[in-house]
Structure 1
């Protein structure tokens, strides 16, 4: 499992983030406080408080997980 803080400041950021996470087979979540949603779910992401940074949790430890984290670095909080 790998983690990174992300900030999704606009609708286009959310759409791009979801497209990136959907291109990988393993599970990933976004966590805000006590709420966790599937990082591949645009509706789930919009249910979170996007004014605050979110914890992006990737449920994989392989090279593909590192590749995904590199792909979403533009959203790093």
Structure 2
């Protein structure tokens, strides 16, 4: 598992983010405070506070570099 912070600033960002995740077979969770939602759920994402970066947990054994590369537009340091 790997964790990165992502920022989703608009509705279009959320759509692109979810569409990107659907290409991968592994599970993704978004964590904001005490809430954990499936990152492939558009409705779930809109239930979170998107005004600040959110933790993305990538549940994949091994190398996550291809996933990180595809999500690079959303990742914040």
Q: Structure 2: which 5+ residue stretches go unaligned? A: none
TM-score w.r.t. length of structure 2: 0.93
Counterpart secondary structure, 2:73: helix
Q: Which moved more, 1:65-74 or 1:49-58?
A: 65-74
Give the Å deviation of 1:62.
2.4
Runs of 4+ more than 2 Å apart: none
For 2:38 and 2:65, the matched residues in 1 are separated by 18
- Where do 1:33-48 residues align within 5 Å? 33-48=33-48
Q: Is the 8 A contact 1:3 1:57 kept in 2?
A: yes
Q: What residue in structure 2 maps to residue 23 of structure 1?
A: 23
Per the TM alignment, residue 55 of structure 1 is displaced from its structure 2 partner at its CA by 0.3
Alpha-carbon separation, structure 1, partners of 2:48 and 2:17: 14
